[in-house]
Amino acid sequence: MLHRAARLLRAIVGAPDYERYVAHVHAHHPGCTPMTRDEFARERLAARYDRPGARCC
């Protein structure tokens, strides 16, 4: 239950979940190498903030 609440909180604040991403890559893309933690964080920030008009200010 606590793990689920933590995951929900991370989703609300927009914190990326690297471990979940790595598990997804291994499960669904076995021939691919997952991004490093730093690459993943940069990509998530870019996806969140580099879209013009995606936020109000």
SS3 per-residue string spanning the chain = CHHHHHHHHHHHHCCCCHHHHHHHHHHHCCCCCCCCHHHHHHHHHHHHHCCCCCCCC
* Structural domain containing residue 16: 4-49
**pLDDT score, position 27:** 97
How far apart (Å, rounded) are the C-alpha atoms in residues 33 and 13?
Answer: 27
Higher pLDDT, 9 or 52: 9
Please report the pLDDT score of residue 14 as a whole number.
Answer: 64
Nearest CA among 24, 17, 13, 14 for reference residue 3: 17
In-domain check, residue 56: no
Q: For residue 57, tell me if it sits in a domain.
A: no
Q: What's the structural domain count of the chain?
A: 1
pTM (2 decimals)? 0.64
CA distance 41 to 17: 9
Instruction: Establish if 19 belongs to a structural domain.
Output: yes
The answer to whether residue 9 is domain-embedded is: yes
Averaged pLDDT for residues 44-55? 74
Confirm whether 54 is domain-assigned: no
31 belongs to a structural domain: yes
Higher-confidence residue of 44 and 16: namely 44
